[in-house]
Amino acid sequence: MTLRLGDTAPNFEQQSSEGKIHFYDYLGDSWGVLFSHPADFTPVCTTELGLTAKLKDEFAKRNVKVLALSVDDVDSHERWIEDINETQGTSVNFPILADSDRKVSDLYGMIHPNANDTLTVRSVFVIDPAKKVRLTLTYPASTGRDFNEILRVIDSLQLTEQHKVATPGNWQQGEDVVIVPALQDEEEINRRFPSGYRAVRPYLRLTEDPSKQTA
């Protein structure tokens, strides 16, 4: 199955390191990050899960719940978590799905036969509170993910969800944003962006982060 942006994220039930997960119930009204790993006790995955645990507060302040996945079973996950905690100086604080039957992997297209027909690649899905897929990323097994980039994209998605703006390349939270070209009515622009804007070109109009602007 190939999921595209805007598709409804498939619901599922699956065992995990923290008991059975009912995916929609687990997310509730939160945003979600579902990400997969080739296998337990792999070096790059160990660093990624440790980093994710350390970013708990960053995910929480964005109303994001994280959920990892590996095709190994719960017993293996529990042993691996001990290694992660010890080697990464943290405590894993989110569930790891035990997808030994590959039910979730197949639902989300996480298995790529050209790489390996049994192991999941490094897939990432960002899912909004309406259960829509808002971002997909796929990394090769040799390359660890940049979780600061995942947080940056979530910041952009959440800001642009509320305001008629887009975020420029390399944008970071709090920096100037772009007014979407579809917004042309000057009265509405002035109402939405009371601090004004700078027109570099008619199609390129920059304004202060609208969450900071007050009328």
**Cβ–Cβ under 8 Å, residues 60 and 19:** no
The span from the CA of 38 to the CA of 71, in Å, is 7
Determine the pLDDT at residue 1: 60
Instruction: Domain 13-145: state its class.
Output: alpha beta
Which of 9, 45, 49, 150 is an active site residue?
45
Per the structure block, which two tokens stand in for 78?
A: 């529990």
pTM for the whole thing?
A: 0.92
* Residue 77 pLDDT > 60: yes
Give ranges for CATH 3.30.1020.10 in the chain. 163-212
Tens-digit pLDDT profile for residues 54-65: 999 999 999 999
**Amino acid symbol at 3:** L
The span from the CA of 97 to the CA of 73, in Å, is 8
pLDDT > 70 in the chain, percent: 94
- Residue 195: band (very low, low, confident or very high) from pLDDT cuts 50, 70, 90: very high
Reply yes or no on whether 96 is catalytic.
no
What is the chain's Cα-based Rg? 20
Phi first, then psi: what are they for 207, rounded to 5°? -140, 160
CATH number of 163-212: 3.30.1020.10
**Amino acid symbol at 142:** S
Residue located via tokens 């982060």: 209
Tens-digit pLDDT profile for residues 141-179: 789 999 999 999 999 999 999 999 999 999 999 999 999
Tens-digit pLDDT profile for residues 86-134: 999 999 999 999 999 999 999 998 876 555 545 566 899 999 999 999 9
* Residue 27 pLDDT > 70: yes
Give ranges for CATH 3.40.30.10 in the chain. 13-145
The span from the CA of 9 to the CA of 3, in Å, is 8
Spell out the alpha helix ranges (H) of 132-210: 147-162, 186-192
Determine the pLDDT at residue 34: 98
